Amino acid sequence: MSDTGAVIAIHGGAGAIQREKLGPDGYEAALAGLREALLAGWARLSAGASALDGVEAAVMSLEDNPLFNAGRGACFNADGIHELDASIMDGKTLAAGAIAASRTIRNPVVAARAVMERTGHLLLSGDGADAFATAEGIAQEPQSYFHTERQQRNLAKARARHLGEDSGPVSDAERHGTVGAVARDRHGNLAAATSTGGMTYKRPGRVGDTPIIGAGTYARNGVCAVSCTGSGEVFIRVCASHEIAARIAYRGDGLDAAARAVLFEEIDALGGNGGLVAVDAAGMVSMPYSSAGMYRGAIDANGMMHVGIYEELVSEPV
C-alpha cells in the first residue's frame, strides 16, 4: 500500500466461521456490513478528519449492525444480560478512554471517547459507566434493543451445555466476538478503537481485553495502531497490542512480522486464538488471524477497498 494519504482497516470478529453455516446470503450480508463501516470511517478521513474520528465512525457503524457482537448485536451473559465493553486510543497524544460492563449505552465507543476527552479517568465500568453516559447525553437504549435471535440461540446452546443437556463443542461464536478499527489520517496520526459484547454465557461483570489499553487496543504515532479480537484473557496476559508495538519500536520488526509473531507464537503458546488489524506509521496494513476466518477489511491510500472473511479478499475502488 502507498505510504501517503489516509488508511483504515476494520475487523468484525474472528473464529470458526463455517462457510456452509454462513451461506451465500450471510456471506454477502457480512461483506456489506464491512463495506458500510469502512465507508463510514473513510468518509471522515477523506474529508480531512482525524484518525480518531475515522475509527470512531467505523466502529459505530459496526455497533449499529446486528450481525456483529458489539452494540446492537451483543451476546448475552449467564444472566441473560448484555454487558458492553469498548475503548479508543489517540496515537498522537497517547490519550485513551474505555468503558466496561455497560448495560445501556447504545454506542459504547462514543462513551469511551467521552471518558477520554471529558474526564480525568481512563476506564469507567458498570453502573458508573452508564451513569456517566446519561449525564453526558450519550444515547441510551433498553436491554431489548441489543437482543438478536442469533445471540439468543447462542445463549440457549450455552445454557443447555451448562446443564448437561448438550455435549456439543463450544463454537467460537459463543466464545467471543469483537469489532474494531485502526486508521492513519492524512497527517500521519494513528488511532485505534475496539468494541464488544464479550463472551456468550460469561460471568456477570467479566471484562476481556477490549477495554484494556495495551491488550485489545493500542495506538502510538510513529509506531502502529492495533485492534484485537479473540481469546480475551490470553490477549491480556501477553499485552498483545502493546507487544506488537514494542516489537516494532524496540526490535525493528516490520508490522506484519510483529503482528504474526504475537498471534501465532505468543497467543498460540497459551492456547488462545483470534486475529487483529493493525496499521503502521507508513500506512501499511496487517490483518492476520489464527482461526478459520475473520471478518475484516481495509481501504488503502490508493482508495482501494478490500473486504473478506476467509483467505480471499474482494477488492474494488471506493
**Separation CA 233–CA 216 (nearest Å):** 10
Burial 113-135 (b: 16+ CB within 10 A, else e): bbbbeeeeebbbbbeebbebbee
Using an 8 Å Cβ cutoff, are 50 and 100 in contact? no
Rounded Cα distance, 210 and 123, in Å: 11
The Cα 73–Cα 96 span in angstroms is 25
What is residue 301's three-state secondary structure? coil
Question: Coil, strand or helix: which one is 277?
Answer: strand
Grid coordinates belonging to 265? 507464537
C-alpha cell at 274: 483470534
The one-letter code for the residue type at 24 is: P
Which residues sit opposite 114 in a β-bridge? none
DSSP letters of 32-67? HHHHHHHHHHHHHHHTT--HHHHHHHHHHHHHH-TT
Label residue 52 exposed, middle or buried (CB < 10 Å: 0-12, 13-18, 19+): buried
Cα distance between residue 192 and residue 52, in whole Å:
7
32: left (phi over 0), alpha (psi -120 to 50) or beta: alpha
Pick from 153, 203, 171, 193: nearest CA to 292: 171
Residues pairing with 226 in the sheet? 218, 278
The active-site residue out of 104, 178, 196, 200 is 178
178 as an active site residue: the answer is: yes
| Among candidate residues 261, 277, 263, 279, the one with its CA nearest the CA of residue 313 | 277
> What residues are labeled active site?
178
